[in-house]
Amino acid sequence: MLVLCSFIIVQAQSEKDFVKENLAFCNTQLYGMLADKSLQTNKFPRTTNAKGELTSTSMYDWTPGFFPGSLWYGYEFSKYESLKDAAIKWTEKLEPLQTFTGHHDLGFMMYCSYGNAYRLTNNESYKNILIRSAKALSTRFNSKIGCIKSWNSFKSFHGDKTYNFPVIIDNMMNLEMLFFASKVSGDPTYRNVAVTHALTTMKNHFRPDYSSYHVVCYDSVSGKVETREAAQGYADNSTWARGQAWAIYGFTMTYRETKDPRFLKTAKGLAKYFINNKNLPSDYIPIWDFNAWQKGYIPGGNSNAPNIPVLYRDASAAAITASALLELSTCTTGDEAKQFKNAAVKMLHSLGSVAYRAKAGNNGNFILMHSVGSIPHNNEIDVPLVYADYYFIEALLRYEKLLDGKKLF
């Protein structure tokens, strides 16, 4: 018994050391990026170019919230005031977005930045910006369909048809800001939008085995589903790895906010599809689409990416999933909880290894290598991505809390 207890204590300590070493490395890279000469004041880090140099986007793309969010996490871990100053500076650049209604990604843009800012500072002005952002996002909700419109239109890869009410699985991630806004404002509207969107997604976005479609397009007059297709995945009937990751994270978070067992059942089914998948490599970092390599999988060869070498990994999908599974492990018990936690820890150890973690000062000062933006669009293939880093840091912080016996929320 004594030997077993000593073993558990030593193992927990080595896991704590693993987390601390990785978080310290993340801060090294964040400071490296802040000092990078190619970091422009009005653009937001996203990935690297062919020369391995930092490239950035405008604030109106979907990813500007992740760099400030990572700075907040870096500050949370280290308590370094210089990181807090940088986090404030990079967060406040996004203030004009509080009334932005151009696409659905406002949750990513504002909750990763201002959400963390408010959580760590209690600054009331940040809270009000988040409420206004939730209001802006809610303008894209259609009550006949029961969903927030993701993109303004979607052009099918097959034929000429363009659809006017596409909803993508990623949209589940934008709901967290709506739940927050209702809690702090007392106005239930935002929460109702979020719950309805999640229920509609649960009905239409998944196959019986809990694999996900990427894009579901609706008819805004009848409210009915018009088509289910892929945009960033391999094919309409395949499972895009990051889409599945967004779904696991989104439904776990929605269960946290509602305690509705239907959302937990869905989160567990989605998670099991991912971690028990025969196509998941042994290091638990998925290939960019769970079916990408399966020649003949697609009836009629209806693939968006038929000529692309298909075995690229997507570290971003693993980082998002690791963070989600750590939370899901706290919503479950017994063997199920262990299964989710062990899978998350396995992903974190792979991501923290030399196979995926960059060397200090390399990789455009991003933390992780080997993510994929969109293979069918021939865009961002086998590169670092700012959101892979954000969810990696988040997952490490969550793991640290669990190792310390603390609650995540």
**Nearest-approach distance from CB 358 to ligand GLY, in angstroms:** 21
CA distance linking residue 90 with residue 64, whole number of Å: 9
Query: H/E element holding 238?
Result: none
Q: State which residue, 62 or 391, has the beta carbon closest to ligand GLY.
A: 62
Residue 342 neighbours by CB distance under 10 Å: 14
- Separation between Cα atoms, residue 250 and residue 198, nearest integer Å: 9
CA neighbor of 347 nearest in space, from 375, 314, 377: 314
Task: Specify whether the CB–CB gap between 238 and 230 falls below 8 A.
Answer: yes
With contact defined as beta carbons under 8 Å apart, do 134 and 179 qualify?
Answer: no
Selecting among 36, 105, 219, 389, the annotated active-site residue is 105
- Asked about 170 being catalytic, the answer comes back as yes
* 174 versus 329: smaller Cβ distance to ligand GLY: 174
Beta-strand pair 54-57/141-142: unpaired
Query: Whole-number minimum distance, CB 215 to ligand GLY, in Å?
Result: 11
Does the CA dihedral 163-169-170-173 come out positive or negative?
A: positive
- Looking at beta carbons only, is 117 or 173 nearer to ligand GLY? 173
d(CA 119, CA 116): 5
Amino acid 326 reads L
Window 241 to 280, contacts with ligand GLY (CB under 6 A): 242
Q: Residue count at the site for ligand GLY (CB under 6 A)? A: 4
Contacts of 403 (CB under 8 A, 6+ apart): 12, 15, 16, 19
CA dihedral 155, 158, 161, 164 (to 10 degrees): -40
Question: Under rule CB under 6 A, which residues in 51-80 are in contact with ligand GLY?
Answer: 62
Chain position whose Cβ is nearest to ligand GLY: 170
Q: How far apart are CA 370 and CA 313, in angstroms?
A: 6
Query: What letter does residue 44 receive in the DSSP assignment?
Result: E
For residue 385, give the DSSP letter.
-
Give me the least distance between CB of 344 and ligand GLY, in Å please: 19
- Residue closer to ligand GLY by CB (options 170, 289) is 170
Say if residue 42 is exposed, middle or buried (CB neighbours under 10 Å; 0-12, 13-18, 19+). Answer: exposed
Closest to 73 (Cα-Cα) out of 400, 403, 347, 337: 400
Q: Closer CB to ligand GLY, residue 75 or residue 151?
A: 151
Closest by CA position to 233, among listed 168, 296, 278: 168
Q: Which residue in 61, 170, 187, 314 is the catalytic one? A: 170
* Per CB under 6 A, 327 contacts ligand GLY: no
User: 3-state DSSP call for residue 54?
Assistant: strand
Give me the 164-193 binding string for ligand GLY, x by CB under 6 A, dash otherwise: ------x-----------------------
- No. of helices (H) and no. of strands (E), the chain: 13, 11
Backbone angles phi, psi at 405, to 5 degrees: 75, 25
**Has 105 been annotated as catalytic?**
yes
Chain positions contacting ligand GLY, by CB under 6 A: 62, 170, 232, 242
Catalytic positions = 105, 170
